[in-house]
């Protein structure tokens, strides 16, 4: 469903943030992008989510190119990030209705989908409260409910559990597993090993804008010769990271 | 169009569901400007005289005709008067330093008398008209009015000038009716005035008020417009970009052109509405300003003809459009919120400078000024208040502002490096 082919991205002439990344993700798969801060995870996620054009290389979503079928692609993608902060004066109700309107969801269906999503995440009691009055966890759950209201087959999730407490984090990971079982294609970026170990069917380690290792968690541990995934990651990272002079 | 309207509705709802924002955008600028209008004369009073209060006009030997005139004339009635006799005036003169301190505070002394020693002012005027009736065309009036003031007191000078222009000149004309009735009957109607006709009254007041308004109102409206555009653009674009909400919008199956259009339309409607409200309040402020203070920034009776009003109404949304485009261009060309905020505030300095230049300039706008975006709106509105506007000025302003706005938006859109959703 997602095909990334030799993608490069440069913000300036001298430096390249993404250096020829390629991978594919199929249906019912959770693919994790793992890397330290500054490795280029967010840039790559934004390129795949069509928020940014690559300098070279191609991205295909559901067999379509963003150059030709951008609006169709946007109906296929649900993009979530903990960096997104919802409008503080709006209510979850208003936000859901607004985005549902933009996705052309019929009015009678909006109500059903809203009730289902709000019930699933326990948002219902807070539906008419302002976002500014809600907790971080609740805001994140509202953000998920809104991002997935059009029931997209492809979900791109940047740092899904970043800044969340254990309970909310658990709810999010359970939900992602549920979405996988429904056959959705999920791409997530994280720097939390436990999340990657628990959720991802396949992991790619991104160091300095390049994928230096790719496979299942077990394959990467085996490849590095270490005992656990965290040690495996550090070994792979040290072997591939070049200090900037 | 449907999606543009959905985004437009959403932005309006965000503003109107938050009363803080509504008040800040709609009432605060208007109230602040009204306060500034009213505080400025007080401040000038204080700076020039050391006192906030208005000093009375001291009348020395004021004749009955003058008191009659004041009681019948609203323009003359706005001053407070103190009557003293010639004897009391000479006592003031004899007391050392008293006259100086009196005038220093902005007081004006109005002395009624004659230049041949006979102090009965009304009698001198009456005698003059009688001579005219007798056919003596060389007759000279010996009646005089002296105005005493402190040459170093700005308020005193202005009040004296305003009193002379607004009261004494009209009083002089009214003397024909009061004392020279015979002459008027024999002679001609040259001196008759239609003082009870409300239209004449309106037009008499209109010119000075509109001249003052041409200096003050367009500049104030421009500052107010930019303040509102800046606040809204910061909220709708800069803050949303920083919060990541912009990315969420871009990720919907709505073209970025529609997203931009919906938001720009919301800014246009809100800011134009707020500006019309402010203009209306300034209009009422003028009509309520019966104090006729010498330093009043917006004197009584501001009045626009329908065509002038139409020009002001049309100019406002086009000015808001170009301001919005400039703000969007700034927001999308910078990354850090701090840089965006500073750069968005810079044009405010330009508009403040433009306001003060307009306030004190003694010349009419040059042709070139109609081709400077945003400033051209100030030039056009000023000319409209002065009833000096020309049709090509209107077209120049509308076309230049629209073109500059569209170019700025196009360049910003291209620079963003987004996929072209129109394909």
Interface test with B, best of A42, A70, A132 (most B CBs within 10 A): A70
Chain A residue set in contact with B, beta carbons under 8 Å: 46, 49-53, 66-68, 70-72, 74-75, 77, 79, 81, 83-87, 89-90, 94, 98-99, 101-104, 146-147
ipTM over 0.90: no
Q: Which of A161-165, B36-40, B141-145, B419-423 has the lowest mean pLDDT?
A: B419-423
| Whether B251 contacts chain A with CB within 8 A | yes
Q: For residue B45, is pLDDT > 90?
A: no
Interchain contact, A77 vs B417, CB within 8 Å: no
Q: Which of B38-42, B221-225, B303-307, B381-385 has the lowest mean pLDDT?
A: B38-42
Min Cα–Cα distance to chain A from B32, Å? 26
Choose from A194-198, B361-365, B396-400 the range with maximum mean pLDDT: B396-400
- Mean pLDDT within A133-150: 86
| Whether B335 contacts chain A with CB within 8 A | no
Among all chains, which residue has been given the structure tokens 């999606």? B3
Residue B193's pLDDT band (cuts 50, 70, 90): very low
pLDDT at B264: 95
A102 → closest Cβ in B3, B14, B17: B3
pLDDT at B51: 66
Given a contact cutoff of 8 angstroms between Cβ atoms, the answer to whether B409 and B415 are in contact is no
- Mean pLDDT within B111-129: 79
Q: For residue B153, is pLDDT > 90?
A: no
Residue A96's pLDDT band (cuts 50, 70, 90): very high
Residue B269's pLDDT band (cuts 50, 70, 90): very high
Q: For residue B262, is pLDDT > 60?
A: yes
3-state SS of chain A is CEEEEEEEECCCCCCCCEEEEEEEECCCCEEEEECCCCCCHHHHHHHHCCCCCCCEEEEEECCECHHHHHHHHHHHEEEEECCCCCCCCCCHHHHHHHHHHHCCCCHHHHHHHHHHHHHHHCCHHHCCCCHHHCCHHHHHHHHHHHHCCCCCCEEEEECCCCCCCHHHHHHHHHHHHHHHHCCCEEEEEECCHHHHHHHCCEEEEEECCEEEEEECHHHHHHHHCCCCHHHHHHHHHHHHCCCCC
pLDDT at A230: 85
Tell me what the pLDDT averaged over chain A comes to. 86
Q: DSSP 3-state assignment of A156?
A: strand
More confidently predicted of B419 and A115: A115
Summarize pLDDT for B82-110 with one digit per residue, the tens. 899 888 888 888 888 888 888 877 788 89
Residue % of chain A over a pLDDT of 70: 97
Neighbour-count burial for B169-186, b at 16+ CB within 10 Å, e otherwise: ebbeebbbebbbeebbee
Summarize pLDDT for A177-234 with one digit per residue, the tens. 888 898 889 998 887 888 888 888 899 988 888 888 888 888 888 888 888 888 888 8
Q: Give the predicted TM-score (pTM) of the model.
A: 0.76
**Chain A residues touching B238 at Cβ < 8 A:** none
Interchain contact, B417 vs A84, CB within 8 Å: no
- Mean pLDDT within A136-159: 87
**Chain B residues touching A79 at Cβ < 8 A:** 247-248, 251
Report the distance separating Cα B370 and Cα B400, nearest Å.
8
pLDDT at B49: 61
pLDDT at B181: 55
């Amino acid at each position: 469903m997602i095909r990334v082919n030799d993608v490069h991205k440069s913000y300036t002439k001298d430096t390249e943030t993404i250096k020829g990344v390629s991978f594919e993700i199929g249906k019912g798969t959770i693919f994790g992008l793992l890397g330290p801060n500054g490795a280029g995870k967010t840039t790559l996620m934004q390129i795949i989510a069509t928020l940014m054009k690559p300098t070279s290389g191609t991205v295909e979503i559901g067999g379509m190119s963003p150059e030709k079928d951008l609006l169709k692609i946007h109906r296929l993608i649900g993009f979530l990030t903990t960096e997104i902060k919802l409008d503080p004066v709006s209510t979850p109700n208003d936000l859901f209705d607004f985005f549902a309107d933009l996705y052309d969801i019929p009015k009678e269906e909006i109500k059903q989908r809203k009730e289902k999503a709000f019930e699933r995440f326990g948002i219902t009691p807070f539906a008419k409260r302002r976002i500014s009055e809600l907790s971080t966890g609740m805001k994140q759950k509202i953000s998920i409910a809104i991002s997935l209201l059009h029931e997209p087959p492809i979900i791109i999730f940047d740092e899904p559990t970043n800044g969340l407490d254990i309970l909310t984090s658990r709810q999010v990971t359970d939900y992602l597993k549920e979405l996988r079982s429904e056959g959705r294609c999920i791409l997530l970026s994280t720097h939390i090993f436990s999340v990657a170990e628990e959720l991802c069917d396949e992991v790619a380690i991104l160091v300095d804008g390049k994928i230096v290792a790719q496979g299942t968690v077990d394959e990467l541990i085996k490849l590095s010769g270490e005992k656990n995934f965290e040690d495996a990651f550090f070994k792979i990272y040290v072997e591939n990271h070049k200090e900037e002079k | 169009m449907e999606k543009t309207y959905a985004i437009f509705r959403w932005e309006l709802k965000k503003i109107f569901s938050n009363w803080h924002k509504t008040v800040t955008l709609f009432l605060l600028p208007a109230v602040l400007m009204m306060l500034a209008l009213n505080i400025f004369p007080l401040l000038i009073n204080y700076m020039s005289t050391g006192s906030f209060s208005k000093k009375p006009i001291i009348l020395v030997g004021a004749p009955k005709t003058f008191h009659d005139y004041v009681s019948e004339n609203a323009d003359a009635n706005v001053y407070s008067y103190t009557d003293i006799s010639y004897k009391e005036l000479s006592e003031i003169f004899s007391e050392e330093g008293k006259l100086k301190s009196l005038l220093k505070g902005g007081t004006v002394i109005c002395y009624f008398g004659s230049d041949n020693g006979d102090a009965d002012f009304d009698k001198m005027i009456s005698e003059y008209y009688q001579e005219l009736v007798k056919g003596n065309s060389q007759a000279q009036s010996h009646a005089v009015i002296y105005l005493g003031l402190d040459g170093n007191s700005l308020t005193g000078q202005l009040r004296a000038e305003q009193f002379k222009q607004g009261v004494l000149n009209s009083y002089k004309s009214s003397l024909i009716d009061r004392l020279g009735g015979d002459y008027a009957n024999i002679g001609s109607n040259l001196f008759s005035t239609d003082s009870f006709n409300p239209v004449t009254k309106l037009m008499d007041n209109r010119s000075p008020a509109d001249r003052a308004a041409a200096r003050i109102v367009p500049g104030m409206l421009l500052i107010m417009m930019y303040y509102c555009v800046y606040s809204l653009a910061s909220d709708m674009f800069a803050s949303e970009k920083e919060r990541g909400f912009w990315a969420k919008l871009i990720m919907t199956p709505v073209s970025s052109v529609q997203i931009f259009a919906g938001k720009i339309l919301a800014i246009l409607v809100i800011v134009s509405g707020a500006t019309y409200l402010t203009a209306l309040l300034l209009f009422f402020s003028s009509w309520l300003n019966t104090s006729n203070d010498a330093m009043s920034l917006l004197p009584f009776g501001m009045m626009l003809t329908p065509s002038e009003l139409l020009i002001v109404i049309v100019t406002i949304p086009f000015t808001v459009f170009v301001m919005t485009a400039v703000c969007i261009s700034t927001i999308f060309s910078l990354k850090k919120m701090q840089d965006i905020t500073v750069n968005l505030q810079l044009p405010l300095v330009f508009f403040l400078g433009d306001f003060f230049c307009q306030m004190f300039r003694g010349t009419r706008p040059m042709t070139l000024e109609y081709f400077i975006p945003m400033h051209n709106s100030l030039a056009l509105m000023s000319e409209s208040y002065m009833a000096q506007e020309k049709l090509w000025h209107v077209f120049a302003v509308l076309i230049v502002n629209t073109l500059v706005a569209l170019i700025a938006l196009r360049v910003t859109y291209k620079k963003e490096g987004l996929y072209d959703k129109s394909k």
